[in-house]
Homo-oligomer: A and B are copies of this chain.
Amino acid sequence: MRYELYYWPTIQGRGEFVRLALEEAGADYIDVARRPGKRGVPAMTRLMDDKRSKRPPYAPPFVKAGKLVIAQTANILLYLGPRLGLAPRDEAGRLWAHQLQLTISDLVVEIHDTHHPVTTYLYYEEQRPAAKRRTADFWRYRVPKILGYFERVLARSSGPHVLGRRLCYVDLSLFQIIEGLRYAFPRRMKRFEKKVPGLVALHDRVAKRPRIAAYLASKRRLPFSQWGIYRYFKELD
């Protein structure tokens, strides 16, 4: 099966959680919107705006697998997980992995909102005081609570991954969260990492997997930027 991934071509964003899974599995996939010309972004918007589609996606990312079009990051991973060997096959295991992924989705919104708390329709510079307050609370309350939860889950698994012996797409997503927080908040993250040694070890283990290491070193891995979920502002760090 050749999968088609549809996502904005210039940012890691939510699409990156899917890219990491496809890359780790060595899956046959096309990153559609990164193709040049009309076969790129216009192909993506055409599919989204297709008036004959009975099941249109609300927004990227979405994946086309044969005739099936699946949107919502966590839903895509729910579908791909067992097929890529990155999730358990039993229902209880799949629900548990998905539950963790949905908590990561919630965290992603909170990370984004640190720099745009008031509204996404104003520039960061127009909401800087609110962003400072939100970021302070994010690091004081939310990061310890949410990453502390994942640290506990990891400690209670039979290790070394969140679900136990085998790697799962949730591990890849936690790697990406740590990468993103390091980019956006290098100083704060450096201090905080002492509190979640298990997650840091998991991050390092993921980074060393041959396919992930090759992907990270390739041009397929887009750089972090000031347009994604994670943005660096000195005064927020």
Given A98-B78, A99-B75, A102-B72, residue A130 in contact with residue B118 (CB < 8 A): yes
Specify which chain B residues have a CB less than 8 angstroms from the CB of A71 in the assembled complex. 99
What number of copies of this chain does the assembly contain?
A: 2
User: Contact at A157–B54, with CB atoms within 8 Å?
Assistant: yes
Q: A120-152: contact bitstring with B at CB < 8 Å (1 yes, 0 no)?
A: 111000010010011001000100001001001
A45 interface hit (Cβ, 8 Å): no
A119 interface hit (Cβ, 8 Å): yes
A156 interface hit (Cβ, 8 Å): yes
User: From residue A105, how far is it (CB to closest CB) to chain B in Å?
Assistant: 8
Q: A56-99: contact bitstring with B at CB < 8 Å (1 yes, 0 no)?
A: 11100000000010111011001100000000000010011011
A195 interface hit (Cβ, 8 Å): no
Interface of A is mostly: helix
Instruction: For chain A, give the interface size range.
Output: 35 or more
Specify which chain B residues have a CB less than 8 angstroms from the CB of A75 in the assembled complex. 95, 98-99, 102
Specify which chain B residues have a CB less than 8 angstroms from the CB of A113 in the assembled complex. 113
User: From residue A49, how far is it (CB to closest CB) to chain B in Å?
Assistant: 11
Specify which chain B residues have a CB less than 8 angstroms from the CB of A68 in the assembled complex. 92, 95
A109 interface hit (Cβ, 8 Å): yes
Query: Cα distance A71–B97 when bound, in Å?
Result: 11
Given A102-B72, A156-B54, residue A119 in contact with residue B133 (CB < 8 A): yes
Query: Cα distance A152–B113 when bound, in Å?
Result: 28
3 nearest interchain CB pairs? A72-B102, A119-B137, A118-B130
